[in-house]
Structure 1
Amino acid sequence: MNSYLMWLFPVISAGIGWITNYVAIKMLFHPRKPIKILFMTLHGVFPRRKKTLARRLGIIVEKDLFTPDMILDKLKTEENKEKLFKAIMVRVNEFVDEKAVQFGPMLQMFGGDAIIQQIRTGMENSVKEMVPKLLDDIGQNISSISIEQVVYEKVMDFSDAKFEDLLMSVIKQELTFIEIMGAVLGFFIGLIQVGILMLA
């Protein structure tokens, strides 16, 4: 065999390795809808198993990534308690100011600004006591929500194209690496073939 032609083996093998992996990766996502060819049905792995993947993703998110306890712990930090307290007090003060204008003459009879300040202080103390209880109530409501089901329904609402984009945004680099490794391994296999032919 012509020695120059022999050295095409690594190039051809690299091309075959790359194409094989490229096609295999494409078949993870395509065809998006089942296509029957004779006795075979072609359907992308991910579109075919979308329901299973959505359910498993929901389980993972609820158990390991976004549990109700984690959400509640985050809500109950001192920083968030202070933010909630301030947000409520803004509304309380707006309400007090509005009523102070509405009942101004009557309030003047009972101490005017002093009574208004007493009302503000009383409301402030009540809100401080209320915030932890309010967060507990929020936590109970969050616990009743099935995060698994929310994630499952959200993923199932995705079109096949959107679902592919979502997965590709996570694993695109890894899939590209697999394509390249197909070419690299193919190239080395071609070199081995050349070596065998040269020794024969």
Structure 2
Amino acid sequence: MSTVMWILPVISAGIGWVTNYVAIKMLFHPRKPINLGLFTLHGVFPRRKETLARRLGVIVEKDLFTPEMIVDKLNTEDNKAKLKTAVMKRINEFVDEKAVQFGPMLQMFGGDAIIDQIRTGMEKSVDDMIPKLMEDIGSNITSISIEQIVYEKVMDFSDEKFEDLLMAVIKSELTFIEIMGAVLGFFIGLVQVAILMMQ
């Protein structure tokens, strides 16, 4: 058997790998359309960026990150407690500041006792306010279009950034496709050799 027949599987593997490599590159390149007369050469993803951005926005809003999901995550007892703690911290800082500023006057009306009453009253008001505040936050969140936010964010990406984003998700799969191109090409080469040997 000639040397050419022996290297045929290797050549086929190389062709398979190069073919898949070029096809994958053409998913992203050229980033800008190139008019070749009969047709225009333009990477699949750059050409369909707007469509992909819109579809991604729909998927994120409907299946991954709905406004209702955000509201449910926020409207928990733990988050309410954290919000109350944050609000009371600011209130206490304000009360302490005014207590120093109006100390002599407050002493005339009971001093520390009146300050404690103010704190207690404010804490009760905060307890009543938190559920309403969470409800208002939820109403504002549900009015936000996550789909539009995702769409605008993706459209703001440069072509390079958009490619990096997609590659971060599918790089290993694309590498697998390249390798499989070489493997399949090699086996096709072996089949060709077997056919030639039978002649």
TM-score for both structures, normalised by structure 2: 0.97
Return the offset for 1:122: 1.1
Return the offset for 1:109: 1.1
Q: Which deviates the most, 111-120 or 128-137?
A: 128-137
Aligned-residue sequence identity (percent) comes to 80
Return the offset for 1:4: 2.4
1:15 alignment counterpart: 14
1:98 alignment counterpart: 97
* Secondary structure of the structure 2 residue equivalent to 1:197: helix
2:198 alignment counterpart: 199
- Counterpart of 2:162 in structure 1: which amino acid? F
Output one character per residue of 1:140-190: Cα deviation in whole Å (capped at 9) or x when no partner: 001111110011011001110110000000000000000000000000100
Task: Within 5 Å, give how 1:1-200 maps onto structure 2.
Answer: 2-200=1-199
In the aligned structure 2, how far is the partner of 1:194 from the partner of 1:99?
A: 93
* Secondary structure of the structure 2 residue equivalent to 1:32: coil
- Counterpart of 2:70 in structure 1: which amino acid? I
TM-score for both structures, normalised by structure 1: 0.97
- Counterpart of 1:70 in structure 2: which amino acid? M
In the aligned structure 2, how far is the partner of 1:40 from the partner of 1:154?
A: 31
Return the offset for 1:81: 1.2
Output one character per residue of 1:115-157: Cα deviation in whole Å (capped at 9) or x when no partner: 1011111111111221121111011001111110011011001
The count of aligned residue pairs is 199
In the aligned structure 2, how far is the partner of 1:55 from the partner of 1:116?
A: 56
In the aligned structure 1, how far is the partner of 2:128 from the partner of 2:181?
A: 64
Q: Which deviates the most, 74-83 or 174-183?
A: 74-83
In the aligned structure 2, how far is the partner of 1:134 from the partner of 1:93?
A: 19
Output one character per residue of 1:49-69: Cα deviation in whole Å (capped at 9) or x when no partner: 000000000000111111111
* Secondary structure of the structure 2 residue equivalent to 1:7: helix
Aligned-pair Cα RMSD in Å: 0.9
In the aligned structure 1, how far is the partner of 2:72 from the partner of 2:2?
A: 71
Gaps of 5+ in 1: none
In the aligned structure 1, how far is the partner of 2:77 from the partner of 2:3?
A: 75
Gaps of 5+ in 2: none
